[in-house]
Amino acid sequence: MSKRTMPGVVTATSSSPVHAFSKETRPSVTLVAGHGVLGDAHAGATVRHRSRVAVDPDQPNLRQVHLVHAELHDELRTRGFDVPPGAMGENVTTRGVPLLTLPRGTRLRLGEDAVVELTGLRNPCAQLDGLLPGLMAAVLDRDSQGRLVRKAGVMSVVVVGGVVRAGDEVTVELPDGPHEPLDRV
């Protein structure tokens, strides 16, 4: 891994003990290695998302921690969608880190101790329209080659546990090459 410090910061932390779409913003969250956010309904070594449990409840949970870049909230606000941190189900909101462009296997140090490893892109679902009509379309785009771009954040697993708070620095550690782009998980 090659370490690269970016001007990234955690701007919010959120969790929910129940399977609700949005998560409550909290002063901090505790990440547990191999498990996820302590007390969050989506934490666990095996998959916790209801649709995925129905398919195979024993598959590994590659979606322990959901991260969204605050720049997406800014973009959505300019398009008429006031989406606060945690509203789209994310656990950690960051600013200054190009989450969507990082390769699979990138590790993010969040604060002093916690480390998560990126597993893939969040695949937006129709529940976004239940939050705000039209939001799902707003978090999808097309690149110059016409390929679908998913902007609803990234998923990760916890490698090293620790407490994460708003204001914590984010350090990026890129995996050794060749780099694989993130795909939906």
Cα 45 to Cα 84: distance, rounded to the nearest angstrom: 28
- The answer to whether residue 142 scores a pLDDT higher than 90 is yes
Architecture in CATH of 2-174 = Beta Barrel (2.40)
Cα 72 to Cα 26: distance, rounded to the nearest angstrom: 20
Nearby residues of 91 by Cβ (< 8 Å), 6 or more positions away? 13, 14, 15, 23, 29, 36, 37, 40, 65, 66, 67
Nearby residues of 93 by Cβ (< 8 Å), 6 or more positions away? 10, 11, 12, 13, 14, 67, 68, 69, 70, 73, 85, 86
- The answer to whether residue 3 scores a pLDDT higher than 60 is no
Cα 80 to Cα 75: distance, rounded to the nearest angstrom: 9
- Collapsing DSSP to helix, strand or coil, 135 comes out as helix
What is the share, in percent, of the chain residues with pLDDT greater than 90?
Answer: 86
Q: What is the mean pLDDT of residues 121-131?
A: 93
pLDDT of residue 6: 58
Cα 146 to Cα 21: distance, rounded to the nearest angstrom: 29
Around Cβ 82, how many Cβ atoms within 10 Å?
A: 9
pTM of the full predicted structure?
A: 0.94
Around Cβ 98, how many Cβ atoms within 10 Å?
A: 12
Mean pLDDT value across the chain? 94
Is residue 33 a contact partner of residue 160, using CB atoms and an 8 Å limit?
A: yes
Which pLDDT band holds residue 55 (cuts at 50, 70, 90)? confident
Residue 131, classified by CB atoms within 10 Å of its CB into exposed (0-12), middle (13-18) or buried (19+), is middle
